[in-house]
Amino acid sequence: MTENQQTTSAKWQEELRDAFKSPAELLDFIGLDAKSAPFLLELSSDFPFLVTRTFARRMARNNWHDPLLAQVLPLKVENDKKPGFGSDPVGDLNALSADSLLHKYQSRVLHLPTPACAIHCRYCFRRHFPATHTSHQKGLPTAAHEYLNKHSNIDEVILSGGDPLMLSDDHFEQLFLELAAIPSIVRIRIHTRIPIVLPSRIHSRFLDLLNHYSQRFTWIWVIHCNHPSELSADVCQTMQLLRQASHLLFNQSVLLRGVNDSADILEQLSLRLIQMGVIPYYLHQLDKVDGAAHFEVPESIGASIMESLRQRLPGYMVPKYVREEAGKPFKTPL
């Protein structure tokens, strides 16, 4: 490793240590006063506050309604119980097949290598997911290994979480080595919000590690961006690196009230993504997780937003509007 690469691989961890860990700190940074906000939630420790500085820098100053702030700000309304909402909205716990593996969809399996994230999104459907079902060891747990070897119809491993890019490079080195030894696995898909919230994580040494396997695996990224203001220059640069390495790039968004529930915003998002070489893949109807009900957009409104997008945009810029249903082996188109 060159000295320069060492610096870059440590930089993201430093940035993470430096992230905002309380609403008051972040609000102060963007010119707002937590004390004048009786609607803020006193945080409990099970889903603490976490926002990186690079993400915070994209928020407007002095605006309680900023769409990026809305995604991370803990509100008292989270405590309101709403019928139909629960702690495991998509049936994750029933689909657990082997330590850290979630096998719900036929040919592909989710591996959850870590419960950690670089940001805590208040609408997250895994906000109550027990961390004990994610792997904490280097590489694949033995049971997961056996499962993949036995089920040769599985040709794609989706790294999910948490955010899989929270793992260290050493962990990835081991994981890719082990996956490469399973002949049926030909694609690795990375579901991550880190290119948006902590782009420095994708430094050159990490990319080299992936590109080492470019003959063995097709690399597919599904990033998670909800609003065009999230796409800052550092994010663009990172996506450019991935494009240069011929990785396939997609985005998924969650339809969120007060964030992106408008055709104008989603149109801008698609245009910006395509400009960066990222294909809009899914627009998710909110999963009904406790604490996120205030983000819900009725499906009828979602459908009319989709109609506008279809009128305005080329087909490849229109994401699929879908809902995840417990126990169903594919996403339901809406």
126 is a contact residue toward ligand SF4 (CB under 6 A): yes
163 is a contact residue toward ligand SF4 (CB under 6 A): yes
Task: For residues 312 and 129, give the distance between their C-alpha atoms in angstroms, rounded to a whole number.
Answer: 38
Burial (CB < 10 A; 0-12, 13-18, 19+), residue 14, is exposed
Could you say which residues in the range 221-280 bind ligand SF4, by CB under 6 A? 224
The item of ligand PLP, ligand SF4, none sharing an interface with residue 324, based on CB under 5 to 8 Å by kind, is ligand PLP
193 is a contact residue toward ligand SF4 (CB under 6 A): yes
Minimum distance from CB of 282 to ligand SF4 (Å)? 13
Minimum distance from CB of 322 to ligand SF4 (Å)? 16
Minimum distance from CB of 329 to ligand SF4 (Å)? 22
Q: Compare residues 191 and 272 and give the one whose CB is closer to ligand PLP.
A: 191
| Token pair 């950690």 in the structure block, residue | 116
Q: Which of 51, 94, 90, 97 shows the shortest CA–CA distance to 74?
A: 51
Query: For the CA atoms of 60, 65, 69, 75, what is the dihedral angle to 10 degrees?
Result: 150
133 is a contact residue toward ligand PLP (CB under 6 A): no
161 is a contact residue toward ligand SF4 (CB under 6 A): yes
Task: For residues 320 and 283, give the distance between their C-alpha atoms in angstroms, rounded to a whole number.
Answer: 6
Could you say which residues in the range 146-165 bind ligand PLP, by CB under 6 A? 158
Choose the binding region for ligand PLP from 104-112, 147-155, 198-206, 266-274 (rule: CB under 6 A). Answer: 104-112
Exactly one of 32, 56, 69, 102 binds ligand PLP (CB under 6 A); that residue is 102
Q: CB atoms < 10 A from the CB of 168, how many? A: 13
Task: For residues 228 and 95, give the distance between their C-alpha atoms in angstroms, rounded to a whole number.
Answer: 33
Instruction: Give 96's strand partners.
Output: 102
Q: Compare residues 92 and 163 and give the one whose CB is closer to ligand SF4.
A: 163
324 is a contact residue toward ligand PLP (CB under 6 A): yes
105 is a contact residue toward ligand PLP (CB under 6 A): yes
Q: Compare residues 104 and 120 and give the one whose CB is closer to ligand SF4.
A: 120
What phi, psi does 105 have (nearest 5°)? -110, 140
| Range 312-316, long-range pairs (CB < 8 A, 24+ positions) | 312/263, 312/267, 313/267, 313/270, 313/271, 316/274, 316/279
Instruction: Tell me if the bond preceding 162 is cis, omega within 30° of 0.
Output: yes
The item of ligand PLP, ligand SF4, none sharing an interface with residue 104, based on CB under 5 to 8 Å by kind, is ligand PLP
104 is a contact residue toward ligand PLP (CB under 6 A): yes
Q: CB atoms < 10 A from the CB of 272, how many? A: 20
Question: Would you tell me which residues interact with ligand SF4 (CB under 6 A)?
Answer: 117, 119-121, 124, 126, 161-163, 193, 224
Binding site for ligand PLP (CB under 6 A): 102, 104-105, 108, 110, 158, 324, 331
